[in-house]
Structure 1
Amino acid sequence: MGRVSGKVALITGGASGIGLATAKLLAKEDAKVVIGDFNLEGAEQAVKEIKEAGGEAAAIFLDAGKAESIEEAVEFTVSTYSKIDILYNNVGLTNLQKDLDVVNMDLDEWDRLMNVNLKSVLLGSRYAIPHMQKTGGGSIINTTSMAGFASDAIRSAYGASKAGVVSLTGYIATQYGKDRIRCNAVAPGLILTPAAEKNLPPQVLEIFKKYNALPYNGEPDDIAYTVLFLASDESKYITGQTIKVEGGHYIANPSIADFQSFMSQARSNTKE
């Protein structure tokens, strides 16, 4: 315990999934945590659970599509705990019904995802950086996605917005490194959040696992521990990087899983 002792963190989208796992872990490691979320009731429940476990936390309503709401969350963090050392820009949206291929996507959905997934990262950083400069530095961590690196048949806007987060992460790191402000990103693959397990059929989860280098899918804590590392002084010489946390899903020739299955069957036939 104590890897982020004395630090203050604002986590956007912290009421569920990856954000919730991260909020609990940072609090367990002695950070004071502010959870900003559109689901205020969920954020308040998370705060209750953190406090029951002996941590310190506060909740605030956050609409990541509105600049004033993001600014309010940053100012609330500073007014509540006197500073902000860690900003985890974690809010992200996707819409499988409207965010389709380039010809057929809903253009209003394109604008919405760029606003929430990309502009919110810009704004959160914009409002937090001046406070970090005053206190001698900080760590900004952004949630991007493997969709920012690997294209898909749909989710064109989501992937483009997440690729933008990767690029913006480097710009922030370059522009504010001399102020001892680090900026890194985490790119999850498939993570078994409650939403993923609810919305994806077991067959789809098995398909993802089949193409992982590791024999299992990721869990929210896998991302949370990566964020903890980037938030702590253990990573003080790392900035401008995107860490891919995806079980090796994207590292191999895409045919490797089928080839391994073929070879396994061939060996089995030979033995027979």
Structure 2
Amino acid sequence: MGRVEDKVALITGGASGIGLSAATLMAKEGAKVVIADFNVEGAKAAAENIKTAGGEATGIFLDAGDGKSIEEAVESTVSHYGKINILFNNVGLTNLKKDLDVVNMDLDEWDRLMNVNLKSVLLGSRFAIPHMIKAGGGSIINTASMAGFASDSIRTAYGTSKAGVVHLTKYIATQYGKHSIRCNAVAPGLILTPAAKNNMVPEVLDIFAKYNALSYHGEPEDLGYTVLFLASDESKFITGQTIEVEGGHYIANPSIADIEAFAKKAQG
């Protein structure tokens, strides 16, 4: 039997990257998967690929900035498969040109990122929880970010919104645990999604590699397997937690890499 056999999962932002990896793995492990994405053609193509591989999936449209669209995605999932057991709130946006430091950031961008990155998690959970209660429980997984724990010179709104996701995860877990609903989050570090590969120059990747504890970068599957674990009953006594999937980038004194380089140079 699969790890999420006969469960129904709604995955937002599932047409590519982390969401697609989670959708593919859940389908492989027996779940019926609804892939919801603004890129509806990508969502439908992903669903067809899952079907070709022997899984069960459907692709639908989702605008995570529109509460009605989020509600419709949940209702469509329940209408199509009769229930919802797993919700993966995975949609997230960032904008390096507008989301700057506190003095110079675009305030409209602040509102947009809070709406898409944080409010969508609230609304997805709000609409799914009553159906999960009827189904006897469920698992909600939210995509946070290491930016919710460590600050940066820019991306003020993004990091703040993801910190909100971390804390909202705890509130959901506290309020609905007695209904057998668990809520956890994953906090990715640098993950080589298609977007990251297209937008990050090799020099920046080298900087991340310098400060990682591990000798390699993360792949979408690294998050996908973590989400699968949190969706399954293997994690039935874990709730309110944020699992950091970041290659050890943030675990040590940030100067260690430079100190080690200095020591090697000093030793000749």
The TM-score bracket by the shorter chain reads over 0.9
CA offsets 1:211-236 (integer angstroms, 9 cap, x no match): 00001110000000000000000000
- Is the counterpart of residue 238 in structure 1 residue 250 in structure 2? no
- Is the counterpart of residue 169 in structure 1 residue 169 in structure 2? yes
Distance 2:18 2:265 in 1: 38
Distance 2:91 2:3 in 1: 24
**Which consecutive residues of structure 1, in runs of 5 or more, have no partner in the other structure?**
none
- Is the counterpart of residue 185 in structure 1 residue 185 in structure 2? yes
Cα RMSD between the aligned structures?
0.7
Q: Report the Cα offset of residue 265 of structure 1.
A: 3.0
SS state at 1:96 partner: coil
Distance 1:75 1:265 in 2: 62
- Is the counterpart of residue 249 in structure 1 residue 249 in structure 2? yes
Aligned residue for 2:63? Answer: 63
Distance 2:253 2:111 in 1: 34
More displaced stretch, 257-266 vs 244-253:
257-266
Percent of aligned positions that are identical: 78
Aligned residue for 2:110? Answer: 110
Aligned residue for 1:6? Answer: 6
- Is the counterpart of residue 211 in structure 1 residue 224 in structure 2? no
Q: Report the Cα offset of residue 261 of structure 1.
A: 1.8
Distance 1:18 1:265 in 2: 39
How many pairs were matched up?
A: 268
Q: Report the Cα offset of residue 266 of structure 1.
A: 3.3
CA offsets 1:81-115 (integer angstroms, 9 cap, x no match): 11000000000000000000000000000000000
CA offsets 1:104-133 (integer angstroms, 9 cap, x no match): 000000000000000000000000000000
Distance 2:144 2:265 in 1: 38
Distance 2:84 2:133 in 1: 10
CA offsets 1:47-77 (integer angstroms, 9 cap, x no match): 1110110000001100000011000000010
Distance 1:264 1:229 in 2: 41
Distance 1:49 1:210 in 2: 36
Deviating above 4 A after TM superposition, structure 1's stretches of 4 or more consecutive aligned residues are none
Q: TM-score, normalised by structure 1?
A: 0.97
Distance 2:247 2:171 in 1: 27
Q: Report the Cα offset of residue 259 of structure 1.
A: 1.2
Letter in 2 for 1:64: A
Aligned residue for 1:86? Answer: 86
Distance 1:171 1:118 in 2: 13
